[in-house]
Amino acid sequence: MGSKKTRNMWKAGIALVTVKLFATLRDHAGERELRLEAKNVGEVLNQLISKYGPDFQRQIDKAAVLVNGRNITHLKGKQTRLKEGDVVSLFPPLGGG
């Protein structure tokens, strides 16, 4: 904390967040967790699509997105702002018990 880069990021409202992928999203992405810099959830999703391709977009379209355990549909959807250290979790439509 206190580095020039961090202060600049803070000023721009960009946060370093952890993105966690679950269930078949892991198969599609080939990994389960990554760190990204983003202002809001929408930017996270766009970066994931850029990284993993249009097939992954089809998966994201079906996925529930949580920020720190809260569903973004109860927050501000893709406009939900992120802060440093937030955890963004993506889940495909699950069945289970």
Partner 1 sequence: MAYGYMGKVLEVNLSTNDINSYSLPEKTLDLYVGNKGLAVRLLYDLLTVGVDPLSEDNILIVTTAPLTGTGAPSSNRFNVTTKSPLTGAIGDSNCGGNFGVHLKRAGYDALIIKGKADDPVYLEVTDEGVTIKDARDMWGLNTEESQEALPEKAGKMVIGPAGENLVKYACIVSEERVAGRAGVGTVMGSKNLKAVVASGNLKPRIYNEELFKEAVREWRDILKSHPSTGEELPRYGTSIFINRTSATHTLPTRNFKHGQFKDAEKISGETLADKYLTKNIGCYGCPMRCGRQVEVDGKPVKGPEYETIGMMGSNLLMNDLQEISNWNRQADLLGLDTISLGNTLGFVMEAGEKGLIQTDLSFGRSDNISKAVEDIAYRRGLGDDMAEGVRYLSQKYGGEYFAMQVKGLEMAAYEPRSALGMGLGYAVANRGGCHLGAGYVVFLEANGPITVDPFTTKGKPGLAVFNQTVLEAISTLGSCNFTNYAVFPEQLIKMYNKSNVVSSVVNSSLTLSGNKVGKFMSRPKAILPKSVFQMAFPHIKAYSHLTGKEMSPVDFLKLGQRVFNMSRLFNAREGITGEEDTLPARLTDELQRQEEPRSRVPLSRMLPVYYRLRGWSKDGVPSNRTLKYLEIDK
The footprint of partner 1 on residues 26-85 (CB under 8 A) is 26-27, 32, 60-66, 69, 71, 73-74, 76-79
Identity of the residue, 9 or 81, whose beta carbon is nearer to partner 1 in the bound complex? 81
22 belongs to the binding site for partner 1 (CB under 8 A): yes
15 belongs to the binding site for partner 1 (CB under 8 A): no
Among 23, 34, 36, 49, binds partner 1 (CB under 8 A): 23
User: What sign has the CA pseudo-torsion 95, 20, 79, 48?
Assistant: negative
Among 2, 30, 54, 95, binds partner 1 (CB under 8 A): 95
Q: Under a CB-based contact definition with an 8 Å cutoff, are residues 92 and 21 in contact? A: no
Separation CA 42–CA 19 (nearest Å): 13
Q: 83 Cβ partners below 8 Å, 6+ apart?
A: 15
